[in-house]
């Protein structure tokens, strides 16, 4: 029997309509898609859901692990760690999904070494390090030809643009499916997943 873990999963994104469907909210959107994926599985049952100002908090009981999912609501990613730490049990494994401009679209990287120039990542590390046993970062590539050709020196402008339909389809049909597989592997065994990625 595989070891049980205290597993918490979150994704970075900003509130208000101006940030919806932008590259910078890819982590949050991927998390929402994964939550719907879990709800469709026979070996996983949703036990509780709480909607608070800061997060929608969902608990799932999987045949391998109990999972806590924290979907950001009315908080900005630059300050997410201040609120996230209040909902993380001690000695948890925390998996965070977020966008990464250094990775090509359709690619995903799983690592224990995040991009520390990302303010949302820094907020989580600085505020949650005393509660988290292990940080795992799932970096979602958002680098496209549009960025390379038109936004190379305007990163902030690029990440806040709406995702074109062609890339939305790639995310929906390719990237989110990969993420569902990776996160399911982590649920079964975080150590096994890290060895595989």
Going by C-beta distance under 8 Å and a sequence separation of 6 or more, which residues neighbour residue 150? none
pLDDT attached to residue 47:
80
pLDDT attached to residue 1:
39
Per residue in 73-128, pLDDT (tens digit) is 999 999 999 999 999 999 899 999 999 999 999 999 999 888 788 899 999 999 99
Domains of the chain: 6-196 (3.40.50.1470)
Which residue, chain included where needed, has tokens 């996983």?
Answer: 44
Nearest to 166 by CA among 105, 109, 97, 107: 105
pLDDT attached to residue 2:
45
Reading the chain (197 residues) residue by residue, the pLDDT tens digits are 345 668 999 999 999 888 999 999 999 999 999 999 988 887 777 788 899 999 999 998 887 788 999 999 999 999 999 999 999 999 899 999 999 999 999 999 999 888 788 899 999 999 999 999 899 999 999 999 999 888 877 888 999 999 999 999 999 999 999 999 999 988 888 776 666 66
Dump the DSSP string for 52-89.
-SSEEEEEEEESS-EEEEEEE-S--GGGHHHHHGGG--
pLDDT attached to residue 103:
95
pLDDT attached to residue 193:
64
Rounded Cα distance, 83 and 14, in Å: 14
Nearest to 67 by CA among 108, 38, 25: 38
Rounded Cα distance, 195 and 48, in Å: 31
């Amino acid at each position: 029997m595989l070891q049980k873990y205290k597993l918490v999963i979150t994704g970075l994104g900003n509130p208000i309509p101006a940030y919806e469907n932008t590259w910078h909210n890819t982590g949050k959107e991927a998390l929402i898609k994964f939550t719907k994926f879990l709800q469709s599985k026979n070996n996983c049952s949703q036990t509780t859901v709480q909607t608070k100002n800061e997060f929608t908090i969902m608990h799932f009981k999987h045949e391998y692990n109990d999972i806590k999912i924290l979907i950001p609501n009315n908080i900005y990613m630059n300050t997410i760690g201040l609120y996230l730490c209040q909902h993380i049990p001690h000695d948890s494994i925390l998996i965070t999904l977020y966008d990464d401009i250094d990775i090509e679209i359709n690619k995903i990287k799983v690592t224990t070494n995040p991009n520390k120039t990302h303010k949302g990542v820094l907020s989580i590390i600085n505020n949650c390090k005393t509660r988290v046993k292990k940080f795992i970062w799932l970096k979602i590539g958002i680098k496209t030809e549009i960025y390379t050709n038109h936004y190379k020196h305007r990163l902030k402008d690029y990440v806040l643009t709406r995702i074109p339909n062609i890339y939305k389809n790639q995310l929906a049909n390719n990237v989110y499916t990969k993420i569902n597989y990776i996160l399911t592997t982590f649920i079964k065994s975080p150590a096994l997943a890290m060895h595989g990625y």
